[in-house]
Homo-oligomer: A and B are copies of this chain.
Amino acid sequence: MQLSELATPALVIDVDAFDRNLATMADVHPGRRLRPHVKAHKCTALAAAQQAAGHSTFTCATPREVVGMGRSGVGDDLLLANETVDAARLRAMAELDVPVTVAVDSIETVRAAAANGIRSCLVDVNVGLPRCGVEPDRAGSLADAARAAGLDVRGVMGYEGHLMMVPERDDRRARVADSMSLLRAAHADVGGEIVSAGGTGTFDLHDETGVTEVQAGSYALMDTHYGQQGLPFEQAVFVVGTVISVGDGWAVADVGLKALGMDHGNPAVIGGTVWFCSDEHVTYAPDDAAHVGGRAMIVPAHVDPTMAMHEAAWIVRGGEVIDRWPIDLRGW
């Protein structure tokens, strides 16, 4: 099938750009130095490609991502880098054949994990983002409590998400170093072999932070938000639309805000300027004359939620569709 034959809106992955992104990252963080974050794509076929690039440990944000990865057979070490007290979901993760580690940041999350068959945890540490994570000076006592509850404490994690978009690289590096000093201090109290942190925006700023593995995910597909940062990764995912209406100075394609993560604002369009999105439309000013039935290539502003809105990704090389990957880890 040709790209031009896809029903729209269609999520497409430029497989050559994707392969180059995987190779670039594997060169910097080979093997278990990278724990790719599944939340950025929610796709076991894509995770299998990351495994083929050398990475067999994976990060997940939801129990369904963990369970889906476990059942797919991709990965030999799955981390739920998030807290849950849902007994049924903890049991479902514990019953997988693959080892599962969960993040804990409170006595309640420790008890829930231990009571439902989970065997391993990381102590999640607040390194400056007001979200999950225990305060660094309480990490050691939480680790003690986890061990007392029977959990293997493999180390610490801390996500410096508040620093991903610091615009200047030197400033970003300095602030990551400060943030990771909190994580190292916690690690000294907690013990274990893992210090897990980082994301696409800080992937190459961890050479002196003590971090043993980086949790990047967006690097594989990218979006306009990360695209502003001068990272060595290419835009590899697009939402293809069909032009359904042409006005006086604008065109309308059938890619709306139900097909695009909008929390980072409007998407971009190749060959034009986006005016606004509606539920099922993007209105944009095309650089050249548009015509009804033509195609528009939309670049998402935020890849993670965009992936979660589509049933499948179409894998393309040049103008040809060579595969279809189900987005099979959606939901919770």
Contact = CB atoms under 8 A, between A and B. Distances in A.
Contacts of A247: 126, 130-131, 133
B293 A311 contact: no
B84 A244 contact: yes
Contacts of A292: 83, 85, 106, 108-109
A245 B283 contact: no
A130 B279 contact: no
Chain A's interface size range is 35 or more
Interface string A74-97: 000000001111101100000000
A8 B64 CA distance: 12
A245 B277 contact: no
Interface in A235-275: 242, 244-250, 252, 254, 257-259, 261-263, 275
A187 interface: no
A278 interface: yes
Contact of A332 (B8, B89, B305): B8
Contact of A131 (B89, B108, B242, B283): B283
B7 A244 contact: no
A280 B330 CA distance: 12
A223 interface: no
B309 A242 contact: no
A35 interface: no
Most chain B CB atoms below 10 A, which of A39, A245, A293:
A245
A305 B260 CA distance: 10
B82 A244 contact: yes
B248 A109 contact: no
A200 interface: no
Given A83-B245, A263-B262, A304 B281 contact: no
A131 B39 contact: no
A50 interface: no
Contact of A62 (B161, B246, B280, B311): B280
A249 B132 CA distance: 12
Nearest to A10: B332
